[in-house]
Amino acid sequence: MTTGHFIDGDWVGGQGLQTLSVFDPSTGSAFAELRAASVVQVDQAVAAARAALPAWSALTGQQRAGYLRAMAGRVEQQRADLLALQMRNNGKPEHEACVDIDDAVATFNYYADLAEGLDARQDQPVPLAVAGFVAHTRFEPLGVVGLVVPWNFPLVTSAWKIAPALAAGCTLVLKPSEVTPLIEQAYGRIAQAIGLPAGVLNIVNGAREVGSALSEHAGLDKLSFTGSNAVGSLVMRSAAPHCRPVTLELGGKSAIVVFEDSDLDQAVQWVVAGITWNAGQMCSATSRLLVHEAIADALHARLAVAFAALRVGNPMAGEVDMGPLSSAAQWHKVAEYFALAQAEGLRCLSGGAVGQGPGWFVAPTLYADVPASSRLWREEIFGPVLCTQRFTSEAEAIALANDSRFGLVATVVSQDLARAQRVAAALQVGHVWINSVQAVFVETSWGGTKASGIGRELGPWGLAAYQSVKHVTRCLG
């Protein structure tokens, strides 16, 4: 590809030293190349966003909402092309890629609604307890924001950031993952098609050099990052000299808690979905199964059968339940955990092996009765690898679930709704599902506690993350 960076309303070729190869993980073969942006081009993108900020932030919320609705419509119009690219570059089954597109469309429409509501909220009076003064509230954009998104949910994670940032009146520079640099380019093409003012949305592609140049850039007013804890720590460090806010959506090692009164057939569905959706490459993957001892053996047996029955293959070749891992690096990482499990003597009930090619396939894997000392129990694997432990009481289940450095999500399975609600309230996480798959709605928040990150995305909290609150107080005397 000769161009691949969207800066100040135009497509430009990369001037960096690195060439990004874009792979089909089902075959392990590259199907596109893209020259990375240079540090100078990152500067240009930030400068373009800074120049566009005054006019964009001066628009009414209703005016910005018009652009957001147009973006939603264009994403929907490009559904067929975006589906194919998600399936080819990420290895997503078609039904998963469809959910991603629906999610992106819903996100732009939702924040269009919130943008329209901003006009009525602006300059609202504040009741004061002291006479002789009046005050009102203003919600103002933070300014120029940098957005760094991962490879596991491209298009979706970027929509979660782009839509609220634009709704708030911010301008932005987006850095997609070097593993999946193509699909986010749809937003640049859409920006041109709908007449989004030049500089409001900029896209620069690259690997570590480009990400570092953006996260360290003095011209940003905020940075929002989704990715690994290791890189998230570097992002926090880069923000410190500028004392600027960051939103970090990081890793997870989430629990699914199955009580003895659960319907086993339903439990199997929710457990399998929680660890095999997107081939387990989710920060929210419920990779720790806590099951009551009374049903543990029965549930283990059913899960082993269900894992073995999953159709794993190339989504471009036919209907599958799970595709490959998205990169060679992730394939090697999961293979290392399989070797570690064997060295630790873990009891494997299903899977435990990587494919022999072509493509980066791994078997959905179940390890039973894994000790808490195991790295497989404590570390985020980012693959379809499920580890189990047994519990005997509600209190023990809560303690085991909370015994993690992460705190992103959890799932509770029980026919006793009062108990499920009690457990949900006690879990130290940002989102809990009860008797459900991981249904994520744009109206609810997304984010976690502990090492799972800082801040929230989605819902009104996602909009607030890109706003500054100003109060104006006047003396009447």
Helix residue ranges per DSSP H, 202-282 = 208-215, 229-239, 264-276
Mean pLDDT to the nearest integer, 409-429: 98
pLDDT one-digit tens code per residue, 74-110: 999 999 999 999 999 999 999 999 999 999 999 999 9
pLDDT tier at 308, thresholds 50, 70, 90: very high
Q: What is the distance between the alpha carbons of residues 196 and 175, in angstroms, rounded to a whole number?
A: 19
Stretch (H or E) spanning 162: helix 156-168
Q: What is the distance between the alpha carbons of residues 310 and 303, in angstroms, rounded to a whole number?
A: 11
pLDDT of 3 reads 79
Mean pLDDT to the nearest integer, 287-296: 98
Dihedrals φ, ψ of 249, to 5°? Answer: -115, 110
Residue 426: exposure state from Cβ atoms within 10 A (0-12, 13-18, ≥19): middle
Average pLDDT, the chain: 97
Query: Does residue 438 have a pLDDT over 80?
Result: yes
Q: What is the distance between the alpha carbons of residues 43 and 45, in angstroms, rounded to a whole number?
A: 5
Structural domains of the chain ordered from first start: 5-250+452-475 (3.40.605.10), 255-441 (3.40.309.10)
- Within 8 A by CB and 6+ apart from 157, the residues are 149, 150, 226, 249
pLDDT of 1 reads 60
Question: Phi/psi zone of residue 24: left (φ > 0), alpha (ψ -120 to 50 degrees), beta?
Answer: beta
Q: What is the distance between the alpha carbons of residues 207 and 169, in angstroms, rounded to a whole number?
A: 28
Mean pLDDT to the nearest integer, 369-393: 98
Radius of gyration of the chain (CA): 23
CA angle 225, 118, 148 (to 5 degrees): 10
pLDDT of 68 reads 98
User: Hunting for tokens 């194919």 — which residue is that?
Assistant: 84
Q: What is the distance between the alpha carbons of residues 333 and 345, in angstroms, rounded to a whole number?
A: 19
Q: What is the distance between the alpha carbons of residues 15 and 36, in angstroms, rounded to a whole number?
A: 7
Q: What percent of the chain has pLDDT over 90?
A: 98
Query: Does residue 375 have a pLDDT over 80?
Result: yes
pLDDT of 477 reads 85
pLDDT one-digit tens code per residue, 23-79: 999 999 999 999 999 999 999 999 999 999 999 999 999 999 999 999 999 999 999
Q: What percent of the chain has pLDDT over 70?
A: 100
> Omega before 358 cis (within 30°)?
yes
pLDDT tier at 356, thresholds 50, 70, 90: confident
Catalytic residues: 249, 283
Total residues belonging to the chain: 477
pLDDT of 357 reads 80
pLDDT one-digit tens code per residue, 137-191: 999 999 999 999 999 999 999 999 999 999 999 999 999 999 999 999 999 999 9
Query: Does residue 354 have a pLDDT over 90?
Result: yes
pLDDT of 2 reads 66
Q: What is the DSSP string of 396-417?
A: HHHHHHH-SSEESEEEEE-S-H
pLDDT one-digit tens code per residue, 200-227: 999 999 999 999 999 999 999 999 999 9
